[in-house]
């Protein structure tokens, strides 16, 4: 099948929304979002109703396949797979690891299989790209038996974005993907850093869940676990309240009341101390990860900023990498304020600092087509597709 002749529908089913985009080759020809699923007042009652609505509104003649975004593939999936009953069962088994996301992703798969029984369905996992992280990077230093029993390890997320962006970085620099080491910084509402060595993820800041790592719109990122015990014992917080605090009322919103970086930047420019502090906490955390991943990689060829904040905030890019000249890292102020995919470091700099617009849907299209063609994308996603087995930790 030639790339241009394919028609791929990409589905991203969240807990209360369905995002969809229809591609002819690499061109998006239709798309949209259905929101407020299952909420009183307006939205469709469930994912099935939402998907029926979406599919009814699209011209699906000659549809090649549906590519589904699936958040958690656990240790089972190191690459995208063609969906069959065993894959559905495995995604189901992983629900305890992603209680908010996997059920919605699964609903999308099941309804699409039902409504489009003759169309191949492909599952593309957020975690898959990170299955190349060595055990030493995926293991938390706790009792191994406890960790094994409860599936506690670093899985990492945003894999589709880090894979796409690191490959694009190599293309931008006109270097072979297999030969360069990249630190990819995905700074959207969720945020994560990833060290990519020769096309393979070797470290990432999100962990067992998307809560760990960088400061995010509403998530705290890294913190001392004792904070949780303290809130429980001294503050009388229920576990669900702490979960809510750290996932939805922390990060930028916790520090400033605003989860939108544009508002934080504006308030900082007006001289507001809380916004200024949030900016410093945010960019200092990024710098710490850049330093850590520099050490892990040994040699860094590129640092790439992506997603809403990474693509659009020169202030955050400059502050996150300030003072790293001794590591060969610098941002050229003129190039920093430009637009489009580009290199923003000075020409003589040892490390190329880049801005690349991420495109997770397009990556899902490419991975879906690759699965159908039994072809593997370069590095990173070249792991053989494992036979799904029931996860040890959850059986
Ligand atoms: P999501 O993770 O939901 O896909 P995005 O990648 O769109 O989110 O990123 C959202 C973040 O990008 C928000 O914090 C938003 O404030 C920020 N953002 C968008 N445009 C700008 C801009 N021009 N300058 C700074 N931040 C921006």
Find the 264 Cα to ligand 1 centroid distance in Å: 11
For residue 322, which of 361, 371, 358, 279 has the smallest C-alpha distance?
279
CA–CA distance from 84 to each of 101, 335, 375 (Å)? 19, 48, 19
Same-domain pairing of 94 and 189: no
What is the pLDDT confidence band of residue 48, given thresholds at 50, 70 and 90?
A: confident
Whether the per-residue pLDDT at 367 is higher than 50: the answer is yes
Ligand 1 mutation pick, 126, 187, 210, 262, max ligand atoms within 8 A of CB = 262
In a domain, 154, yes or no: no
Beta bridge partners of 10: 21, 67
In a domain, 136, yes or no: no
Same-domain pairing of 193 and 342: yes
For the residues 253-273, what does the mean pLDDT come to? 97
CA–CA distance from 385 to each of 124, 296, 389 (Å)? 12, 27, 12
Got the DSSP string for 55-120?
A: HHTS--TT--EEEEEES--TTT-SS-EE--HHHHHHHHHTGGGSTTTHHHHHHHHHHHHHHSTTS-
- Share the mean pLDDT of the chain: 92
Ligand 1 pocket residue status of 307, Cβ below 6 Å? yes
Same-domain pairing of 196 and 285: yes
Same-domain pairing of 271 and 195: yes
Whether the per-residue pLDDT at 136 is higher than 90: the answer is yes
Residue carrying structure tokens 């490390």 = 351
CATH number of the domain that residue 202 is part of: 3.30.420.40
Find the 46 Cα to ligand 1 centroid distance in Å: 28
For the residues 183-203, what does the mean pLDDT come to? 97
Nearest CA to ligand 1 atom 4: 188
Same-domain pairing of 330 and 368: no
- C-alpha 311 chain-centroid distance: 15
In a domain, 251, yes or no: yes
Top pLDDT among 389 and 137 is at: 137
> What's the rounded Cα separation, in Å, for the pair 148 and 394?
9
- Give the CA radius of gyration of the chain: 21
Same-domain pairing of 51 and 82: yes
For the residues 251-264, what does the mean pLDDT come to? 97
In a domain, 152, yes or no: no
Whether the per-residue pLDDT at 390 is higher than 80: the answer is no
Same-domain pairing of 342 and 367: no
- 137, exposed or middle or buried, with CB in 10 Å at 0-12, 13-18, 19+? middle
> What's the rounded Cα separation, in Å, for the pair 234 and 220?
20
The strands making up 181-187's β-sheet, listed across from edge to edge, are 200-204, 191-197, 181-187, 302-306, 352-355, 342-343
Q: What is the pLDDT of residue 392?
A: 44
Same-domain pairing of 92 and 194: no
Its domain, for residue 39, covers: 3-125+363-372
Beta strand 81-82 pairing with 18-24: unpaired
Ligand 1 pocket residue status of 168, Cβ below 6 Å? no
Ligand 1 pocket residue status of 308, Cβ below 6 Å? yes
Instruction: Give the nearest ligand 1 atom to 190 CA.
Output: 2
Q: Does 93 qualify as catalytic in the annotation?
A: no
In a domain, 142, yes or no: no
Catalytic residue among 59, 93, 118, 126: 126
Same-domain pairing of 301 and 368: no
Whether the per-residue pLDDT at 387 is higher than 70: the answer is no
What is the pLDDT confidence band of residue 379, given thresholds at 50, 70 and 90?
A: low
76-119 per-position pLDDT tens digit: 999 999 999 999 999 999 999 988 889 999 999 999 999 999 99
Whether the per-residue pLDDT at 386 is higher than 90: the answer is no
207-227 per-position pLDDT tens digit: 999 999 999 999 999 999 999
Q: What is the pLDDT of residue 389?
A: 43
H-helix or E-strand containing 353? strand 352-355
Ligand 1 pocket residue status of 159, Cβ below 6 Å? no
Beta strand 342-343 pairing with 352-355: antiparallel
Whether the per-residue pLDDT at 41 is higher than 80: the answer is no
Ligand 1 pocket residue status of 207, Cβ below 6 Å? no
- Name the DSSP class of 211: T
Q: What is the pLDDT of residue 384?
A: 39
Q: Is 196 helix (H, G, I), strand (E, B) or coil?
A: strand
In a domain, 380, yes or no: no
CA–CA distance from 248 to each of 42, 189, 190, 352 (Å)? 24, 11, 11, 34
Report the number of distinct structural domains present in the chain.
2
What is the pLDDT confidence band of residue 331, given thresholds at 50, 70 and 90?
A: very high
In a domain, 229, yes or no: yes
Share of the chain above pLDDT 70, in %: 94
For the residues 318-337, what does the mean pLDDT come to? 97
Same-domain pairing of 301 and 337: yes
- 248, exposed or middle or buried, with CB in 10 Å at 0-12, 13-18, 19+? middle
Find the 10 Cα to ligand 1 centroid distance in Å: 22
Same-domain pairing of 105 and 242: no
Same-domain pairing of 211 and 318: yes
What is the pLDDT confidence band of residue 378, given thresholds at 50, 70 and 90?
A: low
Ligand 1 pocket residue status of 210, Cβ below 6 Å? no
Q: What is the pLDDT of residue 40?
A: 79
Instruction: Give the nearest ligand 1 atom to 186 CA.
Output: 6
Ligand 1 pocket residue status of 310, Cβ below 6 Å? no
Q: What is the pLDDT of residue 380?
A: 47
Residue carrying structure tokens 């293309």 = 171
Whether the per-residue pLDDT at 297 is higher than 50: the answer is yes
For the residues 170-188, what does the mean pLDDT come to? 97
In a domain, 130, yes or no: no
Ligand 1 pocket residue status of 19, Cβ below 6 Å? no
- Name the DSSP class of 21: E
> What's the rounded Cα separation, in Å, for the pair 347 and 368?
37
Q: What is the pLDDT of residue 382?
A: 40
Ligand 1 mutation pick, 308, 336, 363, max ligand atoms within 8 A of CB = 308
CA–CA distance from 240 to each of 8, 247, 251, 254 (Å)? 39, 10, 18, 17
């Amino acid at each position: 099948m030639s790339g241009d002749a394919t028609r791929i529908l990409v589905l991203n089913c969240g807990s209360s929304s369905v995002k969809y985009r229809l591609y002819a080759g690499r061109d998006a020809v239709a798309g949209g979002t259905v929101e407020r699923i299952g909420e009183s007042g307006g939205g469709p009652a469930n994912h099935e109703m939402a998907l029926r609505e979406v599919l009814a509104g699209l011209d699906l003649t000659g549809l090649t396949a549906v590519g589904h975004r699936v958040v958690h593939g656990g240790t089972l999936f190191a690459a995208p797979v063609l969906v069959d009953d065993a894959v559905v069962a495995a995604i189901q088994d992983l629900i305890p690891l992603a209680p908010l996301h996997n059920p919605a992703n699964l609903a999308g798969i099941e309804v699409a299989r039902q409504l489009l029984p003759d169309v191949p369905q492909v599952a593309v996992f957020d975690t898959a790209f990170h299955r190349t992280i060595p055990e030493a990077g995926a293991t938390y230093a706790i009792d191994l038996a406890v960790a094994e029993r409860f599936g506690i390890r670093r899985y990492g997320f945003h894999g589709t974005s880090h894979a796409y962006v690191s490959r694009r970085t190599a293309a931008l620099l006109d270097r072979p993907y297999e030969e360069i080491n990249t630190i990819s910084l995905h700074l959207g509402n969720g945020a994560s850093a990833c060290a990519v060595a020769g096309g393979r993820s070797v470290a990432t800041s999100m962990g067992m869940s998307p809560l760990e790592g960088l400061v995010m719109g509403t998530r705290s990122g890294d913190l001392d676990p004792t904070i949780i015990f303290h809130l429980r014992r001294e503050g009388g917080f229920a576990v669900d309240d702490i979960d809510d605090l750290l996932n939805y009322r922390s990060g930028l919103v916790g520090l400033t009341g605003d989860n939108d970086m544009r508002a934080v930047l504006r308030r900082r420019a007006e001289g507001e101390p809380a916004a200024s502090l949030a900016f410093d906490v945010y960019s200092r955390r990024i710098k710490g990860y850049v330093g850590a991943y520099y050490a892990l990689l040994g040699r860094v060829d590129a640092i790439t900023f992506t997603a809403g904040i990474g693509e659009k905030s020169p202030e955050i890019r400059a502050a996150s990498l300030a003072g790293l000249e001794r590591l060969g890292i610098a941002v050229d102020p003129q190039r920093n304020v430009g637009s489009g995919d580009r290199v923003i470091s000075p020409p003589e700099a040892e490390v190329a600092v880049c801005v690349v617009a991420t495109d997770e849907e397009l990556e899902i299209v490419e991975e879906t087509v690759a699965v159908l063609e039994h072809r593997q994308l370069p590095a990173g996603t070249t792991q053989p597709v494992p036979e799904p087995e029931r996860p040890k930790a959850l059986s």
